């Protein structure tokens, strides 16, 4: 929860609930680390499991659409200003 700077009332800050692209950011960072360092020990101990857990999370967030395709709905993009966006380009790019 946050506080509205004009009214002082408590308001829901949606980025804390639907800014889920961060899960994909972490998986991407792990993969980039491995690609740059070749640290197989890290990947074997932690990296692959982390990436698998991220994939499980994303598979739980996919929603079938009327168009027959899968969608990632109701997210906040990385700019943090546009809330409740369906198929945010940044999020979709990292997930797919």
Do 77 and 91 form a contact (C-beta atoms < 8 A)? Answer: yes
Pairing mode, strands 10-11 and 62-64: unpaired
How many angstroms separate the CA atoms of 70 and 84, rounded? 17
80 a catalytic residue: yes
For residue 27 the two structure tokens come to: 């998986």
Q: Which residue in the list 19, 49, 80, 83 is annotated as catalytic?
A: 80
Q: Which are the catalytic amino acids? A: 80
């Amino acid at each position: 929860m946050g506080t509205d700077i004009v009214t002082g009332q408590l308001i829901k800050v949606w980025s804390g609930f639907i800014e889920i692209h961060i899960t994909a950011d972490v998986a991407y960072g792990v993969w980039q680390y491995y690609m740059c360092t070749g640290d197989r020990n890290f990947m074997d101990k932690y990296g692959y499991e982390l990436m698998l857990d991220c994939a499980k999370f994303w598979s739980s967030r996919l929603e079938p659409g009327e168009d027959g395709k899968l969608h990632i709905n109701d997210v906040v993009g990385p700019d943090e200003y546009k809330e409740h966006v369906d198929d945010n380009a940044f999020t979709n790019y990292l997930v797919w």
